[in-house]
A = this chain, B = another copy of it.
């Protein structure tokens, strides 16, 4: 993982997006959730695939962790517009004779329970590599305003994240180091010592309540930090046509003890699944989050009128993020 984005995937997605304008009123949100208009408000639809060896190293994490992550990535997509999940379907393609499908489903169903999103069906088929594709349906609930897209940020809006970043990448580093030194399953002390980071990597959380709160607090644009803060901030800025200035990079506890470049892990690590959002009124944001008993989101910067601006303090926002292998 991480550092130096390969432009291919986003270029292909952009190309596909142009072919898929869809019926009027329907929003194609790239790799996030889509809004399908319906008589009782929008139906939310999203899909994410987790590939063994690409998104999850099965020598470091369990099949149950992979299952958890596959569902959480989808719940997070729904959270990223302030919606609520209704149900998910799961297509498992893989070497069925070799893998423990039951263990995979342990993780899927644990996440399903944690986020109130029943797994209602799916497909199971053989393939040389394990690919777990989850699709989720959600709705926008009775709340106003409408679901929050990536595209509504305006110059002057403040930028927030729902929590500090880098834990997942740091947890992966811990697991890798432990594996290089021995067997991580056999009680490596660093894995125990950095249990929170390891847990953040194995069992990331989706910020459902925070997404709904941000929507209620007037968020103008929102995205989940799945590729990494730098990359996802670029997505939000590009979709909204604004510039962005990052004043702070909130680094999660413990990350500096694992990496010499903690800020780079927070910027480019990805898979933290915190939400990044823009909002015009910081006081309203604070009020709503406090009222709902949620931790205050961290203010990290602001939007500007120059759509080409991508700044980290006094310099350029580095072009780092989750590395997709080709």
Contacts and interface: CB of A to CB of B under 8 A. Distances in A.
Contacts of A48: 91, 123
A9 B124 contact: yes
A95 interface: yes
Interface string A63-83: 000000000000000000000
Contacts of A8: 96-97
A109 B12 contact: no
Nearest to A102: B15
A181 interface: no
B124 A31 contact: yes
B124 A89 contact: no
B326 A95 contact: yes
A26 B135 contact: no
A101 B13 CA distance: 10
Tallying the copies of this chain within the complex gives 2
Interface stretch (A33-41, A143-151, A197-205): A33-41
A49 interface: yes
A284 interface: no
A293 to B, nearest CB: 26
A105 B20 CA distance: 10
A45 interface: yes
Contacts of A29: 121
Given A26-B120, A120-B36, A126 B93 contact: no
Interface residues of A, number: 66
Given A43-B87, A49-B93, A34 B121 contact: yes
Contact of A96 (B9, B38, B53): B9
Interface in A116-136: 118-129, 131, 133, 135
A90 interface: yes
A28 interface: yes
B12 A46 contact: no
Contact of A20 (B13, B40, B119): B119
Contacts of A97: 8, 326
22 contacts: A16-B124, A22-B118, A22-B120, A26-B120, A29-B121, A31-B124, A36-B87, A43-B87, A45-B89, A45-B135, A45-B137, A47-B122, A47-B135, A51-B126, A51-B127, A53-B128, A54-B127, A91-B91, A96-B326, A125-B324, A127-B129, A127-B131
**What 7 A-B pairs come out closest when comparing CB atoms?**
A135-B135, A133-B133, A34-B120, A34-B121, A47-B89, A49-B91, A97-B326
